[in-house]
Each structure stands twice: as structure tokens, then as C-alpha cells.
Chain A
Amino acid sequence: MEGRTEDVAHPPLLDAEDRVTGRTPFVVNEEVSGMLHGKLVRSSAAHAHLVGVDTGAALAHPGVRAVVTGALLVARGGMELEFGPVVRDQPVLAYDAVRYIGEPIALVVASDPFVAEEAASLVEVTYDHLPAVFDVDEATAPGAPVLFRAEPERDPAFVDVTLRADYERNVCNVFSVVRGDASAAISSADHVFEHVFESPAAGAAPLETHVVVADARGDRVTVWTSTQTPHIVRRQLALLFSLPLNRVRVVVSALGGGFGAKAYAAIEPVAAVASRLVGAPVRIHLARDEEFVTSTKHAMRVRLRTAVTNDGLIVARQALARYNAGAYAGISPRKVMFGAYGLNGPYHIANVDIHVEAVCTNTPPAGAYRGFAINQAAWAYEQQMDIIAEALGIDAAEMRRRNLLRDGDTFCTGETLEHLHFHELLDTVTERIGWDPDAKPERDGDLVRAKGISCVIEGTITPSTSTATVRLNGDGSVDVLTSSVEMGQGMRPALASLVARRLGIDPGLVGVSYVDTDLTPYDQQTTASRSMASMGRASELATDDMVEKVRQLAAELLEADPSDVAVVGGHAQVVGVPSRRLSLAEVVGRSRVGNLHGEGTFVTEGGLDPFSGQGVGSAHWHQSLGAAEIEVDIATGKVRILRYAGALFAGDVVDAVGADHQCEGCLVFGVGNALFEELVFDKGQLTNASLADYMVPSLDDMPDAYGFDLATDENRDVHGLGEPALPPVAPAVANALYRATGVRIHSLPISAERVLRGVQAERRSGGAGGGTGGGTGGGGTGSRA
């Protein structure tokens, strides 16, 4: 047994064979006997009062069992009408107003999904249109249309989020980080730089769209659903039906991708409510166009002002950022916190004054999205770093070297940071990409090559709680019971190898459950790159708890003192007497306990004051750098990424292959975000809601060469790698583009058309260097003599 563990170069992926042979139990394959199919009727108005919803023709359609409307829910009573993770502002079905194009108004329930779809087109909705607003700056301006007349109720479970809402300005939360005296530092600084940067809404585009089967017959509610947050969905459904938690069961098998879009309840409430009304299980599976309007990346605009000394030391930063929350708050009230400290970047800045608002507009709700608020922030501050460096005549890498946080520095949150590796990571990426401060762009006809770098800091959700149960079976195999969700990130094989390592057994002997809240213990959520850090730690603690029980039982069987018994290599043995030992299976068998359970709970503490941003922002800090070499075709403006080098601090690495895959996945995501992903709206109407019109990257869009260096420290906790490699990608590409062409792109994506426009403007202006804006924004510098 011990020998075999040594032989395994990397653990065989639990699930690997099932994935290759198509047997992975995805939620989309879930079937419940007698289930009906629901199709949502969605709003075609961006903002309106609902005057009438005529369901007559749909009801008369053969095969239709029911048409559930908001008005029906109001009339029936007995259930809450709204849901939402922080504030309960989102109607299960609109009954009074609609606030975005695509908002669910009715659910047609039929025995066949195609019948439901046909009938859904027969529902007639009458609107009384209201003025609508789509842009965050317009929505916060005086006289803008107001989305909510009254402040929505909040869910007291999200105690860590303090609300500073101002619904008259459509602001559902604000977060500020204030430290030192930024205005004073700016007014006396050598140079001040101010720019506006923008990111558009984007789609997470999981291969499996949202899907749920709900059975709310009788006195329970069960949902089989594609969620990253089973326990939060359980809580949200319990509130909706006024049930104790143990009457709500959330079952989650494998997800076909999530990337944040499947965090928090989305279609579970309407499916459950319909099931209760119809008296049968109801399935809803979103079509691709619906997926795009269910949860988006936040569009964001930030005005960023940074003051520096002649030597390039940052002395102050002011920022006002607005994240577009869409029509409903969702998790935006928490996101502003990530955005606020995120905008500080990985630099030591003594004077900081950052305000981040989440603004409601008549666009589809924005939600969690890989890189949670940090992509948009890094897109801005890492380009500005290059602008400043150039203006001061300092090399871009050197500029960062002078400002990057070091051990013992105080972050903008007031925390003293330790275990920082930014300088070492910077050395790694500059060496990998072949950074040369004096390099000129390489030109071959219309093709120009250059390099760019970027540096990012990112927190994880704090405070947070995970619990796990580890079970030793009679044959020595081990089960981990967990509510962390497998969504393709390889959480199950990684947890298996972690527990196997702790016990010294073959990872093949460790199984990991899927989620069933009736059986699997509490976990806060599968987001924020937290599962290996948080659930991993809980599983280790549970393993230790189980080992303790093994030692007690083994001591009796071996007639030794428990303190003399150790569990090593899958055996309980008397220390120093290798012959006196029992396998784990023998311990369970001979002691006749049937099986042995260990429990583990891992809780992190922290939180920030929402007015000052002071406190503990994150249990640990993700440190991530990227360097890109690009080639731009100046005839078309098309950018190709030739090489990419990433470097991250990863703490303890549990599964080296899985770790590399997560970074690679981030790069794929980053390439799409950088070069072409964008949800395009026309007066609130999404115009590219298909995978033919909305581009995700293909393998041919990946750089020819790429790699990630992970700085590790076995004595540190696992850092989680689901997201950190992503945010540096787009700004590194943009910085490389500038070095190649002198074109500065302020608005994502770095589309070929924007680049060509920039190249031509640059040519007209004589290519004097200095940024020409493609897209909106731009900015300027002010220097003091």
C-alpha cells in the first residue's frame, strides 16, 4: 500500500474515466418521474409597469398544464414574492414592474419542453413603458429613472455586508477604503495622472446552461440544480416557503461549468413555486440566449487618479468606480468591497481614497464572475502603471518593483501583510518573457511584436465557513462528505488526494460525495477560489478527528496507550514497534463500530468597515503576475498573443496537474475577455445572445507557448487557484499593444477595430508616443514643476 502511493506520479483523477466516457452525472441529465417542463416568458420591455399578462391562448394550447404568473402568486399568497442573496429585491415572477429585457414574467408548464416553448410565445404581455437607464453614470445622475421606489428587504443571513444603499440614485451599495490623506498628498505630489477605464458586461458562457428540477409537493422542497451555492439556495428557498432548513433539500451533481454565473439562486425559486402550484416536479433548462441574461460580468467604469514622486513612488490614489449591477442587486453589495480594496492594486500606497458603487440599471442582473470585481480593477490600474512609467521615463518592470508590496507593508485595509512574493514573481515573469527595458518593437511588414506585464492582488471571501465529514469504511476506504461543488475545476480529485496524503493511503481509496444537503454538511459556497483552501482545510481537520478515533480504538485492540499509537501509511501502529499494527480496515472491523466519522470545521474571521475599508480584508492574499508577448497586424488591428508567462504564489500545492489546469483555464478566459468578449446591448436589448455572435475563445486563440510558475510554501495554507491567474491577462496584453503601436485601449475588449482606429489616429498624429484612446475614456497628466 505504501509502495503504491509512491508509485503514483500524480493521483488518478477521480472522475477521469467518467468524464472521458460521458458518464459524469451532470445536473442536466437529472430526471424525476412525472416531471413537467417549464418555459419562461420574458419581458421585452426594459422598464415598465405590467398592465396585463394574458395567458388564455397558452392555457388552451394542447399539452399545457399551467401558466404561472406573478399575479397568480400574489393572489395565492403564502409564499414570499421576492428573493435575492443580500437584499430580497428580485421577483420570482414579475408582478408589478419589469426592470430588464429578459426578466421572467410567466412560466408555461407542459408535459413536453417543446410544447411549453410553443405555448410561451402565445402569452400576451401588455406594458406601460417607463423611462429606462442603462449606464451607471446616467443612472446615478439627478433626474434619472429610479428602479426601486422602496428599499427592498434584506436577508439577515448576510450579516457581513453592511448596506449603504441610496436607491434614489439607484445605488444598491457603496464601499469606501480611506487611509491617510489622499487629497493633501495629491495636491503636493510631483505628478498626478488621471484616466478613465471601462469594462463591458460579459457572459460566463458555461457549456451547461442553468438547469433545475424542483419538486415542492407536500411539506418539503427538493431541487436538483446547477448551483455553486447549494446551502445558500437552500436558505433562499427556505425563506421563500417559510420552511425550516431541513425541509429544503438541494441536490447538486456535477456542473458543466459555472465560472460564477451559477452562484446564488436564479431559476430555483420559480421552478419550486411552479411545482408547488402544479403539484408535479417541474424542470427548467435555460436556452443559450436565456443564459446570457441570467447572470453577467459587471460592466464597470472607473476614474482613477494616481499621484507619484519624480522617482515613480506612488504617494496617493483616488478612485471612483461604478459597477453595473443590472436590474437586481444579487451579490453586488458584496462585490463593491472586493472592487474597493482591489483598486489599490498590489502596491504600497500610504494615502488612499477609493469609493466603489454598485448601481442598478435596466440591464440583466450582473453576478459573480471568475475574477470577482478584480478583472475590471486590474484592467484600469495596470494600464495606468505603464502610462505613469512611460511619462516618468522609468521601465515598466522597474516602476512596479519600486512600488510592489513587501512583507511588513501596511495594505490599504490597515492589515500588515506577510508572505508576500511579488518581487520574486516579477523576476520570474520578466525572465520567462525575456523582458528588456530597452527593447524596441520588432517589425516585420505589417506585423509588430512587443511585450507587456501586469501585477495583481486579489482577496478571497472572508469571513468564511466550511465543514466536512470524513468516513472510514469497513474495508479501509474513505469517503469525504462535502457540499463543495464539482464544476470541472477538479475539486473532487483534489480533495481525495489531500485526504489520502494525510492518511498515507492511495488516493484511489478516497471517494468524494456530490452535494445533497440532506446528507452533506454545511459549506458556504463554491466561489472565490476558496474550496481547496477552506474545504480542503475542513477535510484535513475531519481526517484528524477521524484519526483520533482510530487511535483510541486501535489502542484498545493493540493493548497500548492511545498516545503511543500513530496512524501512518494506512495503518495504526504502536510507535517504535512496527510489528504491532493494524490496517485501518482491521481497526473498523475488529472494533465492530461499522464505520468511523470525523468532523472538521474551518472558519476564517475578518471583515472590513464599509466606510473606511479598515479591518481584515482576506484570510490570505492571492498574488498573480502575467507577461504577454503579442503580435499586432497593423493592417487589420488584430492582436494575437504569441507567448504568455504567469507567476503566482500558491501556498501549498495539493494537485500539481489540477493547479496547472486552473491557471490554463484562467488564461483561456483571459484571452476571450481581452480580445473579443462583450455583451452588446441596444437600449437594453442584448444583440449577441448566441454563441455564433458572442465569441468565446477556441484553442487556436491560445498563445503558441505559455506556462505558469507557482511559488509554493508547504508551510502555508493552500491558496486556491480558480481565479488568480485571470486578471493580469487583459492588462498585460494591452500594455504590450501600447509598446508595439503607441495605441492605448481604455475600453475592453481590445477589438481589432478599436486597435486599427487607434493605429490610424496615431499615424495621423505622427506617432509621437503618448496614448491615443481607442474607445472612450482617455485622460491626461498634470505635472508640477
Chain B
Amino acid sequence: MARLLRPETVSQALRLLADGEVGTKLVAGGTAVMLMMRAGLLFPERLVALEHVADLDYVEVEPDAVRLGALTRLRDLERSVPLASALPTLARAIGFVANHRVRNRATIGGCLSEADYASDPPAVLASLGARVRLRSVRGEREVPVTDFLVGYYETVLEHDELLTEVVIPRPGPRVRTTYLKYVSRSAEDRPCVGVAAYVDADESGRTEEVRVAVGAATANPFMLGDVAQMLGGGPLDAGACRAVGEAYERAIEPIGDVRGSSDYRRKVTGRLVARALETTALSGHGNGAFRL
């Protein structure tokens, strides 16, 4: 049976990880770890529980960036007034994760480190250009979320590293963002496809920067790099939204699972990318998240 360790500071936790090697597992909210242990997929020898680590639970809104402590619970993020006014789409998308019982335990650091493809926040964070800070006794590094997630349930975390903070650059005042969470079954299900859109356009509608991250369909959030280029700086009208959707539909190679086959996800992706862009750029509903 696993030994349970409860460090109270980040440096204690880092030391435990450093002499841990294999068989050591971090537990934040435990919502993913416990399920994996119950399902017999994980047999850790040591569990390093982070719930007593005090200084990683915060939301800090700075002029250029928003910083989230890795141990901040999803429920607190969803209810954070500063977060809702700085990054409304993210706050609302987090409110769509699972149900309030899970959100009361789950942490933003755990959500990213689990790297489960069927998740909501990673796509939103990817579209916002967020970065994560990783610390170990050896030092610290910062990597973009898009580089942090590298495969199914796979991140660049070394065995001795702790994700301590998520740093999200604040979008300029012109930027509009949207997240569509599409669940194919129950309202509390994980996403079948999630689409996060980020549109920076000037008054005339000319697009400066357009980013679209599709979550839950591939191992990690799927983004085409050259959306704005594809539009040639032109306005994001209905036809352009459709064209981007079609480009995503052609390019993506989705996974098939109980929530939908690969082919189904591909079709849904095309339509929902178009819809997310329309919602962001055309509907006047910019800066929101919607569950379909």
C-alpha cells in the first residue's frame, strides 16, 4: 500500500520529489489520481499530497498577465471576480468542467498535468498563449502550454518537477475570445470537442491575429498556425469563418472514443470552429463560453 506524505511548503515538496524517483506520485485535488488508482492503472509507492502546501493557491491579476497558483481549485477560479473580469472566457469554461463536486477538489495544476485529452481548460489556455512554470530542486523553467502538453496523458514534466504557476498574458482590449464546450452525451460529461477562439481585429474587421485551439479531439489541443494568414488579413465574415472551419476539418486527425468516432469528431470540429469564430467575431457575444 502507498505511503502518504504531506509536505507543507513548496521546497519540502520539491525535496520529496527529488529523492522520489519512480513510484512517487503527486496528488493535488486527487480527482484524477484516485480514479486511476481505483481502476488499477496506477500503483504508487509514495503519494505526495499537496493539499497542505499553502502558497500555491492564488489568482493575481497584473497589468500584463494573470497568474494562477497551481493548487487553486477550479471552483475558486470559476468564482473569482478578478479572473472573471480579466479572462471571462477562461473563468466560464472552467465552470463547465465536470460538476461542482469535482471542481471543489480539482486544481488547475492537476488539470494541466494530467494531460487528459478530454479536457476543457487546456484548449482555452492554449488559445490565450498561456505558459506554465515548472520548479524542481534543480531550478525553474517556463514553457508554453502548447509545448508543455506533448501526448496522451503526457507532459514535459520531469519526475522531480512541480507545476507551480500558470501565467496567462492579458489580451489587448480589442481581443474577443470564445469557448464552445460540446458534450455529446450527458451535460456533466467530458467534452467530445471543445473549441477556443481568439480574435484580434480592428474596427473595420481586419484581422490582426486569429487563433483557434480544438480540445478533446486530439492528444493535445490542436491549432493551425496560420489562420490569420489564411484569411490574408481580410475580415472574418461568415464565409471566412466557414473556410477556417473547413481547413480545420481537413487537417485534424481526431481520436475515436465513447463520445464519438474519429469521423464524427472531424465533422463536428469543422462546424464548431466556424461557429466559434462567428460567435466571437460576428455575434456580439464575444468573450463567453457556451456549453452545447
Interface residue ranges, A against B (CB under 8 Å): 114, 446, 633, 635-636, 638, 672, 675-676, 680, 687-688, 690, 692-693, 695-701, 751-753, 756-757, 760
Residues of B within 8 A of A760 (CB): 267
Taking the closest CB of chain A, its distance from the CB of B137, in whole angstroms, is: 34
**Contact status A638-B258, CB under 8 Å:** no
- Beta-carbon nearest neighbor of B40 in chain A: A121
Quick check: is B206 within 8 A (CB to CB) of the other chain?
no
**Contact status A752-B184, CB under 8 Å:** yes
Quick check: is B264 within 8 A (CB to CB) of the other chain?
yes
Quick check: is B272 within 8 A (CB to CB) of the other chain?
yes
Partner of A693, one of B184, B192, B258, B268: B258
Known: A636-B184, A676-B185, A695-B185. A753 touches B275 (CB 8 A): no
Known: A636-B292, A753-B260. A446 touches B271 (CB 8 A): yes
**Contact status B186-A636, CB under 8 Å:** no
**Contact status B99-A751, CB under 8 Å:** no
- Tell me how many residues of B have a C-beta within 8 Å of chain A: 24
Pairs of residues from A and B, 4 with the lowest C-beta to C-beta distance, nearest first: A700-B187, A635-B271, A676-B185, A698-B188
The DSSP consensus for interface residues of chain B is loop
Taking the closest CB of chain B, its distance from the CB of A774, in whole angstroms, is: 12
Known: A446-B271, A693-B258, A752-B260. A638 touches B99 (CB 8 A): no
**Contact status B271-A701, CB under 8 Å:** no
Give Cα distance in the complex from A675 to B260, angstroms.
Answer: 14
- In B1-43, the 8 Å CB interface with A consists of 1, 35, 39
Residues of A within 8 A of B267 (CB): 756, 760
Encoded as 1 (CB less than 8 Å from any A CB) or 0, chain B from 182 to 202 comes to 111111111010000000000
- Beta-carbon nearest neighbor of B291 in chain A: A700
Taking the closest CB of chain B, its distance from the CB of A702, in whole angstroms, is: 9
Quick check: is B80 within 8 A (CB to CB) of the other chain?
no
- In B166-210, the 8 Å CB interface with A consists of 182-190, 192
Quick check: is B261 within 8 A (CB to CB) of the other chain?
yes
Give the most central of B184, B185, B190, B268: most A CB within 10 Å: B185
Give Cα distance in the complex from A700 to B99, angstroms.
Answer: 10
Partner of A638, one of B1, B35, B182, B275: B182
Known: A690-B39, A693-B258. A675 touches B185 (CB 8 A): yes
Q: List 8 A-B contacts (CB under 8 A).
A: A633-B292, A638-B292, A675-B185, A692-B190, A700-B186, A701-B186, A751-B185, A752-B260
Give Cα distance in the complex from A690 to B260, angstroms.
Answer: 17
- Beta-carbon nearest neighbor of A749 in chain B: B185
- Beta-carbon nearest neighbor of A751 in chain B: B184
- In B186-238, the 8 Å CB interface with A consists of 186-190, 192
| Known pairs A635-B272, A701-B186 / 15 extra A-B pairs, C-beta < 8 Å | A633-B292, A636-B268, A636-B292, A638-B292, A672-B186, A676-B186, A690-B39, A693-B258, A695-B189, A698-B99, A698-B187, A698-B188, A752-B192, A753-B260, A756-B267
Give Cα distance in the complex from A695 to B275, angstroms.
Answer: 27
Taking the closest CB of chain A, its distance from the CB of B269, in whole angstroms, is: 10
**Contact status A753-B189, CB under 8 Å:** no
- In B39-67, the 8 Å CB interface with A consists of 39
Give Cα distance in the complex from A388 to B268, angstroms.
Answer: 33
Residues of B within 8 A of A751 (CB): 184-185
- Beta-carbon nearest neighbor of B264 in chain A: A753
Give Cα distance in the complex from A633 to B39, angstroms.
Answer: 35
- Beta-carbon nearest neighbor of B274 in chain A: A635
Give Cα distance in the complex from A698 to B96, angstroms.
Answer: 13
Encoded as 1 (CB less than 8 Å from any A CB) or 0, chain B from 272 to 292 comes to 100100000000000000001
Residues of B within 8 A of A676 (CB): 184-186
- Beta-carbon nearest neighbor of B184 in chain A: A752
Taking the closest CB of chain A, its distance from the CB of B227, in whole angstroms, is: 20
**Contact status B264-A756, CB under 8 Å:** yes
Residues of A within 8 A of B258 (CB): 680, 687-688, 693
Residues of B within 8 A of A699 (CB): 187
Residues of A within 8 A of B186 (CB): 672, 676, 695-698, 700-701
Taking the closest CB of chain A, its distance from the CB of B96, in whole angstroms, is: 10
